Amino acid sequence: MTEPFFMTMQCAGGPEVGSAIAPPVNPAGGWQAGGVLAIDKPEGPTSFAVVNRIKKRLCLKKAGHCGTLDPFATGLLLVCINQATRISDQLLDQDKVYRFGIRLGQETETLDKTGRITRTYDGLPPSERQLNAVLESFRGVCLQKVPRYAAVRVEGRRLYELSRKGVEVDRPERQVCIRRLELLSYRWPDATLETWCSKGTYVRQLASDIGHLLGCGAFVSELRRLASGPFRIEQAVSFSEVESESEMNRWEQRLIPMNDALAHLPAVLVEDGTVLKRMQDGQISREWEAAHRERFSGYGKPVRLLDKDDRLVALWWPFPETPSQRRMRVF
């Protein structure tokens, strides 16, 4: 659920003559601002289709989403625009919050409402107490199998491609962390839950595993992402606004600047003009690094380098994982 997707496109020019809605373009033929758009994805389109629509509307050169939502899922989809596509890796590695419905008593081949029903339970409904006891067993760190219909590659092929062809393979397991898993409502056969979980957690598999422990089976009947790291659904632009002519000239106001989007990373203000100029040219002073590296001892993530106007100049890795890893990413 968390694979990044990037798309590049060279704008062929301004809007079509006589078109009802004209995307804002600059004289060079494209929308040049860079940043992150929080989109409230509706049910139906793929994450790819949402990005494609935004890209066409704004005549963007580059756009990509951070963390796929299945077509039937709704909620927060982060779309990185232009230069911001280069910080997507720093936005993927964050916890997510989901609200989801599960239908107990049935199982489907895809573990959600889009799949064919493969089993129906005819026993007594589990009690709310039993359901809460099962939920307790999933809280904390656990191993989760990747669902059969997932985009993870196994033996060089997408797992969902192998599953559609009836090829059985050993599904990989991942360590995930369920920080919170709460029951919001329950009336057989439907329950509504909310979870705060680590990246890479498959809610579909979580629902299936809950049903398995209850003995009655379950699948996801609805799924909505409420948060990704510090980003919240309340910040999101609805897809109807994407289609609205009246909103077109407000897009830049809705962009989250790259520096703000990376606020979870520590920052260093680069005040020396000579050092800053070298950084902007892709070079970093060994003396400057030595003077600042000690502050981040034991820290394995990048650090934001800012100019005096709090603009993001570069990301700097004080302690690269390998000798060949680049120590700086310039914007």
For residue 143, what pLDDT is reported?
93
24 in the same domain as 146: no
**Selected catalytic residue, list 40, 70, 112, 209:** 70
User: How many other C-beta atoms are found inside a 10 Å radius of the C-beta of residue 236?
Assistant: 21
Residue 324 vs residue 48, higher pLDDT? 48
- State if pTM tops 0.85: no
**Do 250 and 200 sit in the same domain of this protein?**
no
Reported as type and span, the H/E element at residue 251 is helix 251-254
Q: What is the mean pLDDT of residues 56-75?
A: 89
The alpha carbons of the chain give a radius of gyration, in whole angstroms, of: 23
Domain CATH code at residue 176: 3.30.2350.10
- pLDDT given for residue 147 in this prediction: 80
**What is the spatial distance between Cα 93 and Cα 111, in angstroms, rounded to a whole number?**
25
Give the CATH number of the domain where residue 44 resides.
3.30.70
Do 194 and 184 meet the contact criterion of CB atoms below 8 Å apart? yes
Confidence of residue 192 (pLDDT cuts 50, 70, 90): very high
Same domain, 141 and 249: no
| 63, containing H or E segment | strand 62-66
Kindly indicate the confidence band of residue 145, based on its pLDDT and cuts at 50, 70 and 90. Answer: confident
Domain count across the chain: 3
What interhelical angle do 128-138 and 203-214 show, nearest 10?
Answer: 130
Whether 148 and 166 map to the same domain: the answer is yes
Q: What is the pLDDT of residues 218-242, one digit of tens each?
A: 999 999 999 999 999 999 988 778 7
Q: Is residue 262 in some structural domain?
A: no
70 noted as active-site residue = yes
pLDDT, position 253? 77
Tell whether 207 and 321 lie within a shared domain.
no
Distance CA 1, CA 245 (A): 31
Does residue 16 belong to any structural domain of this protein? yes
